[in-house]
Amino acid sequence: MNQNKLYPIIIAGGSGSRLWPLSRTLYPKQFLSINGEGSMLQSTIGRLHGLDCVPPFVICNEKHRFIAAEQLQNVGQLTGNVILEPAARNTAPAIALAALIACKNEPDHNPLLLVLAADHVVEERKAFQDAVNSAIPLAENGKLVTFGIVPDAPETGYGYILRGDVNSTEIDVDSVAFDVAAFVEKPDQKTAERYLSSGNYYWNSGMFLFQARRYLEELEKYRPDILQACQEAVANAEIDNDFIRVDKMAFEMCPDESIDYAVMEKTSDAVVLPMSVGWSDVGSWSSLWAISHHDSEGNVQHGDVISHNTENSYVYAESGLVTTVGVKDLIVVQTKDAVLIANKSEVQDVKKIVERIKAEGRNEHHIHREVYRPWGKYDSIDDGNRYQVKRITVKPGSGFEMRMHHHRAEHWIIVAGTAEVTINSSTHLLCENQSIYIPQGTAHCLLNPGKVPLEMIEVRSGTYLEEDDIVRFSTSDYL
């Protein structure tokens, strides 16, 4: 391993709406499996295998902490390495937190930070790793490297990087890096075509490599207010099991700024290294269609789908059968609580639907019917006047500690597995097809003592049935 260790920093703080209804505020696209078996976060971690690096830091919103921790644990990469942002403050502060923590871990060295987005697709792992290894000498020489994607189309949805002169730093014989001449905003169609034909522009990938202390030096030069807020947030950070919790008040005072605006557009040491790795930011349903495997009619299908006379469409079925007849260039996405039907050429306006959902006080933009918790998940399968029905899954060895509800009673029916239920001071062991009643205002807790998931149906009844009607008797209870 290099004397200065390579720290991957995976930014997983987004809550994007462009892939609604699959992506929601509390379950955004980086945690979804949309182009493979693992989630996008897990795929990002997977492409690090083979690089000489330490386990990655993952930076995410506090509301996503249990999803991120479970996905890291599932790929054997949960090592107390989840940095929690108490508020969204964009990439410059997020990277500053990681840089400060990495420097604290390596007081006698200058660790290298490989900054990656958790919600991008990279199809060619070896080419990606070759580019990273080629960039290390540049970073060791004090350069702030950004990876520019060699464009293959006049894309108007990406920002661009204009290359300058060839950088003189010696790197891999097969690679050439350039000084950055300018960062350019998303162009119109004619401008994008001109960029493509010139050969001097690259898509801005949002991936970076630089020394941690070098980044902090440039941040202090150009945005000392951001650095000071992050320093205060890290100085008062606390370790909470697998999470690093920075100081909430200090971080909320930090300005909201991207690394491009805060540092990269200002520094004289920005270098762009071109890469061709099959990259996409999966910024819309049409871009997901473009990178997915197509059948002979140009369709992409997921789930229980039957199509007839259908062309160049993306059809996703989460639950139940979805059928299409005589359609072309459509996006059809069905989840348990919402359906999207859009023309493939107009999917950028999905965000307008999300804005309207918010404006009407609905919650389909915010949360899925299926909600994840540290002990498992629940699916809200029915509700009506004074009742709710949920299907609850509890992981082996997990559960929740003592609590009570002021306004509702609960009836639990065990569908599979074993439940250990304590009501007041009495403990009951329940198996399949058994049930138990928990009266309103009664202290109770639940444990799955078995080796298989516990599946049960919960029926709530009462005057108020929302999740905030809860009194916890332990701070370790996360429901």
pLDDT tens digits, 335-373: 999 999 999 999 989 999 999 999 999 989 888 888 888
Residue 252: C-alpha distances to residues 85, 219, 230, 245, 457 (Å): 9, 18, 10, 13, 40
Which 8-state DSSP code applies to residue 187? P
**Which amino acid makes up residue 80?**
G
Burial string for 68-88 (b: 16+ CB within 10 Å, else e) reads bbbbbeeeebbeebbbbbbee
Rg (CA), the chain: 25
Q: 415 in helix, strand or coil?
A: strand
Angle at which helix 224-235 crosses helix 91-105, to 10 degrees, equals 50
Residue 42 has pLDDT above 80, yes or no: yes
Biggest distance spanned by C-alpha atoms of the chain: 76
Could you give the CA distance from residue 39 to residue 230 in angstroms, rounded to a whole number?
Answer: 29
Percent of the chain at pLDDT exceeding 70: 97
Residue-wise pLDDT tens digits, 405-449: 999 999 999 999 999 999 998 999 999 999 999 999 999 999 999
Is the CB of residue 156 less than 8 Å from the CB of residue 192? yes
Q: Which residues pair with 377 in a beta bridge?
A: 372, 393
CA trace torsion 197, 202, 203, 208 (10° rounding): 180
**Which amino acid makes up residue 174?**
D
Residue-wise pLDDT tens digits, 293-346: 999 999 999 999 999 999 999 999 998 999 999 999 999 999 999 999 999 999
* pLDDT at residue 466, as a whole number: 87
Could you give the CA distance from residue 359 to residue 164 in angstroms, rounded to a whole number?
Answer: 46
Determine the Cα angle at 207 with ends 201 and 213, to 5°: 120
* pLDDT at residue 34, as a whole number: 81
Is the CB of residue 4 less than 8 Å from the CB of residue 112? yes
Is the CB of residue 312 less than 8 Å from the CB of residue 299? yes
* pLDDT at residue 29, as a whole number: 92
pTM of the entire structure? 0.86
Residue 476 has pLDDT above 60, yes or no: no
Helical H runs in 120-268? 125-140, 189-198, 212-222, 224-235, 248-252, 259
Could you give the CA distance from residue 212 to residue 4 in angstroms, rounded to a whole number?
Answer: 10
Phi and psi dihedrals of 67, rounded to 5?
-65, -50
Residue-wise pLDDT tens digits, 179-220: 999 999 999 999 999 999 999 999 999 999 999 999 999 999
Residue 158: C-alpha distances to residues 82, 148, 279, 424 (Å): 29, 11, 12, 58
Q: How large is the average pLDDT for residues 244-272?
A: 96
Residue 271 has pLDDT above 90, yes or no: yes
> Where residue 173 falls among pLDDT bands split at 50, 70, 90?
low
* pLDDT at residue 479, as a whole number: 39
- Which residues lie closer than 8 Å to 388 by C-beta, 6 or more apart? 380, 382, 459, 460, 465
Is the CB of residue 68 less than 8 Å from the CB of residue 241? no
Preceding amide of 21 cis, omega within 30: yes
Burial string for 246-284 (b: 16+ CB within 10 Å, else e) reads bbeebbeebeebbbbebbbeebebbbbbbbebebbbbbb
Residue 147 has pLDDT above 50, yes or no: yes
Phi and psi dihedrals of 404, rounded to 5?
-150, 165
- Burial group, residue 43, by CB count within 10 angstroms (0-12, 13-18, 19+): buried
